[in-house]
Structure 1
Amino acid sequence: MNQPPPLPSRRNPIAAFFVGLWDVMNFTRRLILNLLFFGLLFLVLIVFVAAVGRGNGVQPLKERTTLVIAPEGRVVEQFTADPVTRALAKALGDSAAEEVQLRDLLRAIEAAKDDRHIERVVLQLDKLQPSGQASMREIARALGELRAAGKQVVAFGENIGQPQYLLLAQADEVYLDPMGGLLLEGYGRYRQYFRQGLQEKLGVDVHLFRVGEYKSAAEPYILDAASPESKEADLYWMNDVWQRYVADVAAARKLDPAQLQAGIDDLPAGIAAAGGDLAKFALEQKLVDGLKTREQVLDLLAERGVADEDDDLGFRSVSLGGYLTQIDSKRLPVDNRPQVAVVVAEGEITGGDQPAGRIGGESTAALLRQAREEDKVKAVVLRVDSPGGEVFASEQIRREVELLKQAGKPVVVSMGDLAASGGYWISMNADRIWADPSTITGSIGIFGLIPNFTRTLDKIGVHTDGVGTTRFAGAFDVTRPLDPAVGQVIQSVIDKGYADFTGKVAAARGKPVEAIDAVARGRVWSGAQAKERGLVDELGGLREAIADAAARVKLESGKYRVSYVEKAATPFAQFMSGFAGSRIGAALLEDSGLARAALARTMPETEAQLRFVENAVKDRGGAPVKSLAYCFCGL
């Protein structure tokens, strides 16, 4: 007798719910993975099509082309963001993240000087954010040489800042919008001082340990106003830099420096006489040649050049980026000439491995080591633009400079806008130090900063107590009162750091320690003043430093190439940079909200710009006190 088939067992409702939920989740997971796969495949196809569409060549420039230099963002020695971030920021229109490398500006101007296709150069620098006086003078010199070579230079601005004007003044003609403005006001440096707020309001006691009465970097934490020594030192170098600015502008505009200075001193009366019209006042002061709107300037350029309705500007032109692409396309694919390598050290000096565009004790030392181990590199130029930072990280970099010299490869330092304190530490052992007369350098001194939050915690009823096996166990705890004996230990460490600093400078510069101490003690100098005091060897820019390095290994002009030793971008970064830089990729990123939201997640997180001292105090790496060689100097 056959048995009837068993009835299917009834699933528990709760179990059925979770099984169904798992099925939904599993389906969703597969769907997302498939979407991601096909999305990436789609991006690869787009890049491939864009590459095919562009072809391997670059369209050559036509005769009588106008080079339009209108950079946006801050002038830097080296990009501070990776290629992915830069490409995506540009595609998404994030102007705040824009940067322009000094070397790119210089090589475009220098190439245009001898390029028969470039008829004239137009400068529009309203959106340029200068970094310092030395780099601006280097660009101004290149523009002056361009003009001297017979290329017409026309400048236009709607609201012209004092730093940008040094560059615009080099033009044959400078035009300002009738509703715009231009004011020369001089240099100043003012900081906020926090002693009252920290100590009296919040109960934070800040203990400063330093050597050198001019070492004023941490004064804002312990004073309510600048010390007399700080004001004396700042005004000394600042006046020197300002007088050079006035002289440079006066020479370019064929004016009397005294006339320029008088116009600033009589600023209220002069502007009142011009009816409050800043543009009219600038014209009366002969700072500009005429008042024209942007449209009027474009019409003028179309008349002088070659009118082109297909060009956005109305005349045959090439942008800075387009011209750099032209220059790069002419480079030899393989260049076996010996090299003068340039290693850029820009920013604050911190420990460890730092990304490109920042100075790390390990990462910057590794770049120097790479140059030492590369057979094709015969000499090295260390381009320094730094206010300093951690002493140990600075010493790591200085040791690599010494090893390069021991390997028979000369090292020449080129100081940029700022090479002070730790920035001077990493420079001092070079075979020769070059600086612009307006470089800010020196600040040979050491300090340490220890905050104490005992009174702050008292205000909210929090107290620290406990026991230790020795007198100094827990003595560096910032929630306990600072023992005077601990302060003595810290000051001894700082004294030793200063002795190391001045001793190493004395040995490197071939001078007695007493002579170095006389010009040290934390005092800041301009490049010209530093040369007078034996801290700098020669006055000049990066060009002169590279020529010096080449001459030291008997490399003649044209017989070597200049290479930059930098961190290489990852394959993914190169892929994304190429995609975002393509015409199709840029259009997709700009117009597609979905692409914008998805790709934004692939961008590296940008770190907040925290104060250097606060970072150093927070992270001492296990050391009871960290010595700092840092300078809060600059314009």
Structure 2
Amino acid sequence: MSKPSLLRRIFSRFWAGLTWFRLALSNILFLVFLVLIYVLYFSGGQQPLPEKAALLLNLGGTVVEEKSRTNPLQALLGEPAPTEREIVLRDVLDAIHHAAKDPMITALVMELDYLVSSGISKNMEIAEAITAFKASGKPVVAVGDYFTQDQYLLASQADEIILSPMGAVPLEGFASYRNHFREALEKALISMHVFHAGKQKSMAEPFLRDDMSAEEKAITARWLADLWGRYTALVEERRQLSPGAVDAYVDNYHVLLAAAAGDSARLALEQGLVDRLLARPDANDYLIQLVGAEDEGGFYEAVFFEGYIARTRPSSFTQVSGDRVAVVTAEGNIMSGDQPPGAIGGDSLSRLLRQTSEQEGVKAIVLRVNTGGGSVLASERIRHALARVRAQGIPVVVSMGSLAASGGYYIAAEADQIWATPATLTGSIGVFMAFPTFEQLLDRAGIYTDGVGTTSLAGSLRFDRPLNPQVAASLASTVNFTYEGFLDIVVAGRELEREQVVKAAEGRVWSASDARRLGLVDELGSLRDAIAAAATLGGLGERYQVEYVQEPLSPREMLLQQLASRVGAAASPWPGLSAGLQGLVRPLASVARSLAEMNDPAHLYMRCLSCSALP
């Protein structure tokens, strides 16, 4: 038998080596996967907690009702910038409430330097939890180098505020400013066709005007004043300042700062906004004495709130059983179809509500709504799903977050009860349709559109042709019909006279207190208050369980979510950009995202555009 040729022997050895390398690589990847599973689910979870420690609210990121879908690449890259992180409000509240009863926790410390945004509504719910924590007799301290307006509202809830000697508290008040595109559209030779119902044109103004109308300014000023009044009242009460002290500080800041020789930290101390000026090492020494414990690195002993609540809360694999209240979250813009967390899908949320209502032991449902609206068809699908839940005999209570306007109010009107936080914005009962045509721009470029159709309407909705007057009349009729239907839903759901609803509608945005006065909401209170009300409606008494329901995750999604929770990752459209660059492009991305989210098949929307500047 002859020996194989040299070329064949070389090829055989090469193939054998390649096979060995492939198997080795597969085994290595499998081992890495096993290590990753161990790290995510088992490592670090059983390390003993210290005997004494502070609960540390290191809120670095944006506080949300529900986290957006995890970006796998960002999760693998590691710890994101604060502008990319999301912090779930419930995690913060549960950690504070649990720590109040935990003998290991001796104090609550807030380090808020990297808190990007939380909003007055969420801040007020956290403030309520901090007040309950104080009732345990444990001290609360806020430490910071520089307190933004959002950060300071939380810091003011502390017994003591420590500021860096080089820091500042630059309060400025609330404002609502929007871009207006009429002239830009005209210069770009774009014809924007807008149809709306109701006297107020706030939904259409950005396309039809170069400025905010006097009527819209009056409406916006009213709800801004309500929110700012709540902000200043809460700060003045907690800091024991005289009424009007915050406004005086803001309005005369330049004069007061000049009198303090430009020392903004000393000014904050003199005005009673902070209690101590300490550099971080000195603040750490002070906190060691306050907490009563020091770690191996020489810092005051503390447990991060996210790790703390992960240990104290039942595992996500634990099924809640027995009679209970189910809480479903609806946060983001309302869109057609199935949507991931961070957006509200007409199909996905409706399915989740149906599945929840069919679970044994669910006696009531709380729908936490935080949205400025969106697709009309998706909103109607969700409203219909809520109606079917109520038809099964299961009461539904809506808890409004920071915002429950337009389409958000449309779905809320179906509930047995509506609760709003004191800082909620709601209403905006209106409908609009807007789309551009580019015939002028194409004419300028020497591009003309011509042809024939079988009817007078054929080809009427092309972007390169002027809008057909017959189509315009039809669209206007559709918008008016949808608006009248919106009014009917509110009249029936809220059991109000039609005249009352008409006065409260026409696209107006209302503060929570005004909405309650008008009958648009029943009570003012937190999510916990709404859950208690739902338990009463469901006949559960004072002792009941609460289940927070989410769309079931696939094994892959569960792995990514666990990985993200370990590194704190959140979805980011530009994971490679610095926080500063992201801040520059964020307004453009917001516009692009808004356009992408307008996916209603009929191009009809119930959406509060003026709420985009919500404080």
TM-score (norm: length of structure 1): 0.87
Q: Does structure 1 residue 380 correspond to structure 2 residue 365?
A: yes
Q: 1:518 to 1:577 in 2, by over 3 A?
A: closer
Tell me which residue corresponds to 1:37. 26
Indicate how the Cα distance of structure 1 residues 241 and 575 shifts in structure 2: closer, same or farther if over 3 A, else same. closer
* 1:302 equivalent in alignment to 2:288: yes
- Work out whether residues 175 and 289 of structure 1, in 8 Å CA contact, stay in contact via their aligned partners in 2: yes
Bigger CA radius of gyration: 1
Q: 2:595 aligns with which of 614, 629, 632?
A: 614
Displacement of 1:207 in angstroms is: 1.5
Give 1:372 shift.
1.2
- State percent identity of aligned pairs: 39
Distance 1:190 1:627, change over 3 A: closer
Shift of the 494–294 alpha-carbon distance from structure 1 to 2, 3 Å rule, reads same
1:613 to partner: Cα distance: 5.2
- Code of the aligned partner of 1:428: A
Instruction: Tell me the residue number matched to 2:130.
Output: 143
Q: Indicate the SS of the match to 1:562.
A: strand
- The answer to whether the Cα contact below 8 Å between 2:370 and 2:400 also exists between their aligned partners in 1 is yes
1:124 to 2:108 alignment: no
CA deviation after TM superposition for structure 1 residue 292, in Å:
1.2
- For residues 14 and 331 of structure 2, the distance between their equivalents in structure 1, rounded to whole angstroms, comes to 49
Any conservation in 2 of the 1:183–1:282 contact (CA below 8 Å)? no
Q: Does the residue aligned with 2:244 lie in a helix, a strand or coil?
A: helix
- For the residue of structure 2 that corresponds to 1:257, the secondary structure is coil
Instruction: Select 2:237's aligned residue among 230, 251, 266.
Output: 251
Q: Distance in 1 between matches of 2:41 and 2:227?
A: 52
- Deviations, residues 415-467 of structure 1 (Å, cap 9, x unaligned): 00000000101100100000012100000000110211111112221111111
Q: Is the 8 A contact 1:215 1:446 kept in 2?
A: no
Is 1:104 aligned with 2:81?
no
Maintained 8 Å contact 1:83/1:577: no
Deviation per CA, 1:95-126: give whole Å up to 9, x if none: 43211100000000111111111100110112
Q: What's the CA shift for 1:53?
A: 6.9
Cα distance in 2 for partners of 1:358, 1:28 equals: 50
CA contact (8 A) 2:68 2:342 kept: yes
Contact kept in structure 2, 1:424 and 1:442, CA below 8 Å: yes
Residues in 2 aligned to 1:262 and 1:575: alpha-carbon distance in whole angstroms: 52
Residue in structure 2 matching 1:569, options 545, 553, 571: 553
SS in 2 for 1:180: coil
Is the 1:452–1:480 contact (alpha carbons within 8 Å) kept by the matching residues of 2?
yes
1:76 is matched with which residue? 64
Aligned position for 1:629: 607
Matched residue type, 1:58: Q
Q: Which residues in structure 2 correspond to 1:186-225 (within 5 Å)? A: 186-200=173-187, 202-225=188-211
2 CA distance for matches of 1:30 and 1:457? Answer: 60
Q: Is the 8 A contact 1:130 1:136 kept in 2?
A: no
**2-structure distance, mates of 1:183, 1:460:** 50
Question: Is 2:458 the partner of 1:480?
Answer: no
Structure 2 residue 537 is the aligned partner of structure 1 residue 552:
yes
1:480–1:335 distance in 2 versus 1, CA, 3 Å: closer
Instruction: Give 1:334 shift.
Output: 5.7
Distance 1:396 1:53 in 2: 42
1:598-613 mapped onto 2 (5 Å cutoff): 609-611=590-592
Aligned letter for 1:626? L
Query: For 1:54, what is the secondary structure of its paired residue?
Result: coil
For structure 1, the 5+ residue unaligned runs are 9-15, 590-595, 597-606
CA distance in 2, matches of 1:386, 1:404: 21
Name the CA shift for 1:418/1:362 in 2 (closer, same or farther; >3 Å): same
- Maintained 8 Å contact 1:348/1:358: yes
Conserved? CA contact 1:338–1:377, under 8 Å: yes
What is the Cα-based RMSD across aligned positions, in Å?
Answer: 2.9
CA contact (8 A) 1:110 1:142 kept: yes
User: Per-residue deviation at 1:295?
Assistant: 1.5
AA paired with 2:610? F
Q: Is the 8 Å Cα contact of residues 195 and 476 (structure 2) preserved in structure 1?
A: yes
Matched with 1:286 is 272
C-alpha deviation, 1:542, in angstroms: 0.1
* Equivalent residue, structure 2, for 1:338: 323
Q: Which amino acid in 2 is paired with 1:561? A: Q
Identify the range of structure 1 (511-520 vs 524-533) with the bigger mean alpha-carbon deviation: 511-520
- 1:542 is the counterpart of 2:527: yes
Q: Is the 8 A contact 1:215 1:445 kept in 2?
A: no
Alignment CA distance shift 1:551-1:60 (3 Å) = farther
**Residues 474 and 620 of structure 1, relative CA distance in 2, 3 Å threshold:** farther
- Structure 2 spans left out of the alignment, 5+ residues: 570-575, 577-587
Q: Which residue of 2 aligns with 1:13?
A: none
2:416 to 422, 431, 439: 431
Contact 1:131 1:417 in 2 (8 A): no
- State the secondary structure of the residue aligned to 1:68: strand
Matches of 2:21 and 2:178 in 1, distance apart? 52
Q: Secondary structure at the match of 2:166?
A: strand
Instruction: Answer yes or no: is the 8 Å Cα contact 1:381–1:545 preserved in 2.
Output: yes
CA pair 266-378 structure 1, distance change in 2 beyond 3 A: same
Per-residue CA deviation, residues 110-164 of structure 1 (Å, 9 max, x unaligned), is 1111111110011011211234221110001111221232110010111111111
How far apart are residue 322 of structure 1 and its match? 2.2
Q: Which residue matches 1:12?
A: none
Deviates more, 1:324-333 or 1:519-528: 324-333
The Cα of 1:556 is off from its aligned counterpart by 2.5
1:397–1:426: 8 Å Cα contact kept in structure 2? yes
* AA at the equivalent of 1:563: E
Look up the equivalent residue of 1:261 and give its one-letter code. Answer: D
TM superposition shift of 1:612? 5.7
Separation in 1 of the partners of 2:256 and 2:201? 39
Specify whether residues 233 and 32 from structure 1 end up closer, same or farther in structure 2 by C-alpha distance, changes over 3 A only.
Answer: farther
Q: 1:546 and 1:262 mapped to 2: Cα distance?
A: 39
Deviation at 1:328, TM superposition (A): 2.1
